[in-house]
Amino acid sequence: MTADGETPLADFDGLRKRSIRTRTQLAVAEAENVRRVVIRYLVAAPSRKVATFDFGWLLRLHAEMFGDVWSWAGRIRDIHLSLGSDPAHIGEHLAQLCDDIRGRERLIPDVLEQAVLIHHRAVQIHPFRRRC
């Protein structure tokens, strides 16, 4: 049962918190996870030791951002979607993103601007399962 005006979720596959029933509840739960990650990585420029910007780190970052909400967080999707890279090419596209990040560090010193560029590219690749 949802409150008036709330949009119910259509897909609960992989949802860890069964108390989440609406898009608003989902957004709040995800935002709390993301807030913790932003504090960890974006309050100050992260060190190379904390944020290695390699393939494994990107997977761990996604798991940190969404793992309390989704069981599939941090795992590359193997299903075809109407957006993003073909699952067979996600690995190479993420590897290229990692290379690009390392190449831009000196060109774009602002950590927030780097984060925006990384997010933009990651959304284009769409390496993880869809959100409801």
**pTM exceeds 0.85 for this model:** no
Query: Structure tokens of 106?
Result: 């000196």
Question: What is the pLDDT, as a whole number, of residue 38?
Answer: 87
Question: What is the pLDDT, as a whole number, of residue 89?
Answer: 94
CB atoms within 10 A of CB 13: 10
Q: Cβ(87)–Cβ(78) under 8 Å?
A: yes
For 88-121, write each residue's pLDDT tens digit: 999 999 999 988 887 777 776 676 777 788 889 9
Find out if CATH 3.30.2270.10 is the number for domain 23-125: no
**Every domain of the chain and the residues it spans:** 23-125
Closest CA to 129 of 78, 63, 54, 67: 78
Residue 118, amino acid: I
User: Per-residue pLDDT for 68 more than 70?
Assistant: yes
- The secondary structure element, H or E, covering residue 79 is none
User: Per-residue pLDDT for 132 more than 70?
Assistant: no
